[in-house]
Amino acid sequence: MSTVSPTHASHLSTLYSEHHGWLYGWLRGKLGNRAEAADLAQDTFLRLLGKRDAVPLREPRGYLATIARGLLIDRYRRQALEHAYLEALAQQAEPVSMCAESHAIIIETLLAIDRLLDSLGARTRAIFLLAQIEELSYVDISRRLGISLPTVKKHLVRAYTECLLLAAG
């Protein structure tokens, strides 16, 4: 476990005491929920705690709002993915039941896949999804997208490599 330098801790303490109330209010306005706003405000400061070298900020509220916005996006993305997953489960012919731990593992895995797909880039993602979801051959993907077969192969190698790295990590 890494330690926090005294300077870093002092800087964070000052930042927290001067801006936590503002950040909490800003988040409460965005979320309309006190508990979620408090959680995200804490998560924002936890992100700062994880940074090794904290330098005094010229625009601390802007910096905090940027971190909090990213956390909000992550939260909304997670909620949307979980909602889609629960809808897919509800459409199954037979009811599916699982323990909370299995549910959490599945959601975390889906989030990792979502992040992976998002990181691929538009063309690679499109080619990968055509191959995996629509089960198109390389030739069919090439024709559909109007690109060369070597280009399809190059993008699929990249996508498969990223999948392997995700599975190994």
For 101, half-sphere exposure in the C-beta direction (CA atoms, 13 angstrom radius) is: 0
- DSSP string for 123-143: HHHHHHHHHHTS---HHHHHH
Please report the pLDDT score of residue 147 as a whole number: 95
Q: What angle do CA 156, 85, 90 make, to 5 degrees?
A: 135
Please report the pLDDT score of residue 3 as a whole number: 66
Please report the pLDDT score of residue 53 as a whole number: 62
Please report the pLDDT score of residue 49 as a whole number: 80
Is pTM beyond 0.75? Reply is no
Please report the pLDDT score of residue 52 as a whole number: 64
Identify the CA nearest to 15 among candidates 52, 53, 51, 48. 48
pLDDT tens over the chain, length 169 residues: 456 677 767 778 888 999 999 999 999 999 999 999 999 999 998 888 877 666 667 888 999 999 999 999 989 988 998 898 888 888 888 877 888 898 889 888 888 888 888 888 899 999 999 999 999 999 999 999 999 999 999 999 999 998 888 778 6
